[in-house]
Amino acid sequence: MAKTMTKQNESIAETLKQAWQELRADHPHMRIRDAAATLGVSEAELLATDCGNRIMRLRENWPTLLSATGALGPVMALTRNHVAVHEKTGLYDNVRCYGDTALISGHNIELYLSTNLWQFGFAATEDTRLGPRHSLQFFGVDGEAIHKIYLTEQSDFGLYRRLVDTFRADGQAPSLELQPFQTGPVHIAPARRQDVPENWRRLLLCSGHADSEPTVQVIGRIAAPVFHELMAQLTLLMLPIQILVGNRAAIQLHDGPIQNLRINGPWFNVLDQGFNLHLNETAVAGVDIVNIAYRQHRLTGLLLRDQGQRTVASLFGNYDQTDGESAVWRNLMSALSITTYV
């Protein structure tokens, strides 16, 4: 019975692989996430159809694997959800693990990762208009993408190949056994909460992924044109801000100013050296101005909500432990709250 089931799975995987090849022939620039949605499968299932060739399944030893990525040199970290894509280029050179939580604080990259919710990992080689692109990609039990690490021109490709060989899984079957996942926030493991650095305790509150519900006061809601105007102001001021995008098992931070904005169809983009943000505004139901109690300070910021009122991205001012948030940022938020509606 098991052997018959294996043959059935391989047949299904081969059919899916052929369907994907045909779809790519008709739409050569379609992204894999869009292809998966078109074919009614998960992104991980599409990748798995080429396991053993240009895709290699990786062993489930995520903290050790992440620690090894620091030697690759500059890479691009990508964390996304169904609304926002957050990309940062830098180093994974400081990886700390607290039980099932991995914190990465490398040069220009800040990540909070719940690796216990990672189920599948792949080393992928994909063809692009600029040539082959190499990456490490991680997915949940339902095949949804959690986090990806892309090599850059400055990355050590030889070390990458050795890393893939070291963490290559014994089995390279072209099909996956998926399970449904109930959508929910990322949580700090309570037993290790005291180990999490202070800055991430605050950032988890701001991202909407805290282990307990903070006191969040909504003081206004702004429409897309007002959000665009605020972002344009921030580029002129070169004001350092903190932009967070997360999903159920990864949160990624940009801490610094923004410079280059571009609107392309439904996508609102920040296209800076070392940082890209892409927001699908058709999926943003609203942008709330919020006030959050944190220690002796009040934090003001923006929470971008989807149609289910879940936070998909957040923006807050730069923070100092003594003085709290930036006064310039606080004034910007105060001005917004006066002229907006709830």
Whether 105 maps to a domain, the answer reads yes
Q: How many CB atoms lie within 10 A of CB 150?
A: 18
pLDDT tens digits, residue range 214-265? 678 899 999 999 999 999 999 999 999 999 999 999 999 999 999 999 999 9
Same structural domain, 201 and 320: yes
Q: Is 239 exposed, middle or buried (0-12, 13-18, 19+ CB in 10 A)?
A: middle
Same structural domain, 31 and 104: yes
pLDDT at 84: 97
pLDDT at 44: 96
Domains identified in the chain, total number: 2
Same structural domain, 141 and 76: yes
Helix axis angle for 32-39 and 2-26, nearest 10°, is: 120
Predicted structure pTM score? 0.92
At residue 184 the predicted structure's pLDDT band, cuts being 50, 70 and 90, is low
Whether 274 maps to a domain, the answer reads no
Same structural domain, 92 and 228: no
Out of 95-99, 190-194, 312-316, pick the least confident: 190-194
Whether 179 maps to a domain, the answer reads no
Same structural domain, 153 and 23: yes
Residue after which a domain boundary falls, among 111, 134, 167: 167
CATH of the domain at 324: 3.40.1570.10
Whether 183 maps to a domain, the answer reads no
For tokens 């996304």, what's the residue?
80
Helix (H) or strand (E) holding 103: strand 101-106
At residue 2 the predicted structure's pLDDT band, cuts being 50, 70 and 90, is very low
Same structural domain, 23 and 101: yes
In the chain, which residue ranges form alpha helices assigned H by DSSP? 2-26, 32-39, 43-48, 62-68, 157-167, 198-207, 224-237, 327-339
Same structural domain, 141 and 240: no
Whether 204 maps to a domain, the answer reads yes
Taking 70 as the threshold, does the pLDDT of residue 211 lie above it?
no
Whether 268 maps to a domain, the answer reads no
Residue after which a domain boundary falls, among 134, 167, 200: 167
Same structural domain, 99 and 202: no
Kindly tell me the sign of the dihedral angle through the C-alpha atoms of 40, 44, 47, 51: negative
In whole angstroms, how far apart are CA 161 and each of 32, 73, 78, 109? 23, 14, 20, 22
Question: 226 lies in which domain range?
Answer: 190-262+279-339
Taking 50 as the threshold, does the pLDDT of residue 49 lie above it?
yes
Same structural domain, 126 and 222: no
Whether 270 maps to a domain, the answer reads no
